Structure 1
């Protein structure tokens, strides 16, 4: 790979020359590199899984780019050499993380993080027989990380099921057993 500086001949040339050389621009710099071809090795299972995840993330990102507000949000997070679509793919590739579920009196407090932002947190209260007694959306607290849900009753022997979702629709589920 070579970075071309102040060369009038290659200033407006982009693309592949023959089957040997590729010229492209990245972050305002002209780069010359040998042409890469497809790998001749059979992909591993892990590579196939990563490709599948990337395909799904790309499809979610394309759907999100149709919304001008979401597109503007991701564009505001893009750095040099990146765009809104790149940020949307990055967000769609990973699920949010539920770090903790705490009970404070009759309130369920969920600490959920995502590299970009958690869109919503849903809380379900299940009794000892497995019946959902109540459910609803938690409200984001002032610190931007804790989500609060006011429960009417937390039955002993039951559990609290929390689902955190990010903008692209990826979600994480975590449970807390009630004693």
Structure 2
């Protein structure tokens, strides 16, 4: 790959040149590529769905960078060559991840027990909600978890007795900044 440094001819250049080349500015560098060609095929249902999702992500990211406080938060998370827009766009596309091997084997249905789940996001987990149901499916309690000092674990302290907990469920809902929801349910 050829590289040109301090090129006064291409510095800051962007756009289409003739019908052959496209110049772009990426991370302070001028990138040259062939002109993209539009496909003559009709888009599939899946393609239309992805386009709609990308359109929503672009709207979200555009609104983020208009708010200087929120833009600064995303800029902090940006890695080399990324902008706040890029990070916000990616955040919209990907929801939080709840650990796959969740187990609440130590839960005995008593008040004051701590239930812990590890949850990560590509930007930030905004909130986590726990709901506990008994063996019959009746809601016993529900509430917000608190993030632990390690920044990975979310801790929910039970507030109600659940004498028929065996065979019941603990449901965890994790939300990120754009409002993506991830759900996990564990039998106890």
Q: Same fold per TM (> 0.5)? A: yes
TM-superposition CA deviations, 1:89-119 (whole Å, max 9, x none): 1111111111125354522212211122211
Q: In the alignment, is the contact (CA less than 8 A) between 2:71 and 2:84 conserved in 1?
A: yes
Map of 1:173 onto structure 2:
183
Deviation at 1:162, TM superposition (A): 0.8
Deviation at 1:44, TM superposition (A): 3.9
Map of 1:36 onto structure 2:
36
Map of 2:139 onto structure 1:
132
In the comparison of the two structures, how many residue pairs are matched?
Answer: 178
Structure holding more strand per residue = 1
Q: In the alignment, is the contact (CA less than 8 A) between 2:115 and 2:156 conserved in 1?
A: yes
Q: Is it true that 1:110 corresponds to 2:117 in the alignment?
A: yes
Root mean square deviation, CA, Å: 2.5
The two structures have a TM-score, normalised by structure 1, of: 0.82
Question: Residues of 2 paired with 1:66 and 1:132: CA distance?
Answer: 41
Unaligned runs of 5+ in 2: 108-112
Call closer, same or farther: CA 1:160–1:39 in 2, change over 3 Å: same
The two structures have a TM-score, normalised by structure 2, of: 0.79
Structure 2 counterpart SS, 1:22: strand
Q: Is it true that 1:163 corresponds to 2:173 in the alignment?
A: yes
Unaligned runs of 5+ in 1: none
Q: In the alignment, is the contact (CA less than 8 A) between 1:101 and 1:111 conserved in 2?
A: no
